[in-house]
Amino acid sequence: MFRFLSAPSERTRVPSAVAASTSSDRPVSCRERIASDARGATDRCRSIGPRSGSVRRTGRRALWSALLAATLLPIGCGGESRIAVHPVQGRIVDGGQPLVGAMVVFHPTDVSLAELSPRGTTDADGRFVLTTFDSADGAPAGDYVITVLKFETVEGPNGIEPGPNVLDRSLADRTASPFRFTVALGPNTVPDYEVRR
C-alpha cells in the first residue's frame, strides 16, 4: 500500500487507476491492463511503482513478446521458406553462332519441384543465367529437361510483334527435348547447346 507524507505534486501524481486500486487495497492486475491496451502495458505497469516487481516483469515479458511477434511477422506473412538455389549459366548456339534472344527454360524432373521453372534469356553472346526467385539467383539442385524457344519479330497491325517459334518444335517440348542437365550444389556451367531449326 502506498503511503504519502504529503499530497503528491503534479510530477509525482499517481494515475487514477492506481489510486483507485490503492484505496480499495486491491492489487492492480497487469493482465487486465494488457488485455485492455496491450500497447500501453509496459508504461502502465511501470507506473505502479516499487511494490509491483512481479507486475513489472509481466510488463517486460509482454513487451518482449510484442517485439518478437513484430520481428517474426514478415517471415510468417512473407511466406514459406525457399528451397536453396545454385547459380547456373550456359550458352545456346545456332550453326556455331550465338543465338540471341532465345528463351531457355529448365523443367525439373522431380515432381516436388514441378511448380518451379528456372529460366533465362540469351544475350548477344548467346549466354543465359537462370532465375528462379530473384534475378540470376540460379536453380534448385536436381535433374532438368531444357526447352529452348526463339520467336522472330514480325510487323503486325500494331507494330512489331512476336512471331512464330523459329526453332525445331521438339526443342519447345519438355517430353521431346534432347537437352538434359543436372544442377549440382554450387556454381554450374551448362555446356554449349547447339539448336536446330
Give the C-alpha separation, 48 to 30, whole Å: 10
pLDDT for 94: 96
Cell of 194: 547447339
* Mean pLDDT over each residue of the chain, to the nearest integer: 76
In a domain, 161, yes or no: yes
Q: Are residues 189 and 100 in the same domain?
A: yes
Task: With cut-offs at 50, 70 and 90, classify the pLDDT of residue 29.
Answer: low
Q: Are residues 61 and 123 in the same domain?
A: no
Q: Are residues 128 and 173 in the same domain?
A: yes
Predicted TM-score (pTM) of the model is: 0.59
Instruction: Count how many domains the chain has.
Output: 2
In a domain, 148, yes or no: yes
**Residue in 166, 149, 135 with CA at minimum distance from that of residue 107:** 149
Helix, strand, coil shares, percent, the chain, to 5: 30, 25, 45
pLDDT for 109: 97
Full domain range(s) for residue 177: 88-194
CB atoms within 10 A of CB 45: 23
List the single range of 68-82, 97-111, 151-165 with lowest mean pLDDT.
68-82
**CA distances for 114 relative to 90, 105, 182, angstroms:** 22, 13, 15
Q: Which residues of 123-143 are buried (b: 16+ CB within 10 A; e: fewer)?
A: eeebbbbbbbeeeebbbbbbe
- Supply the CATH number for residue 136's domain: 2.60.40
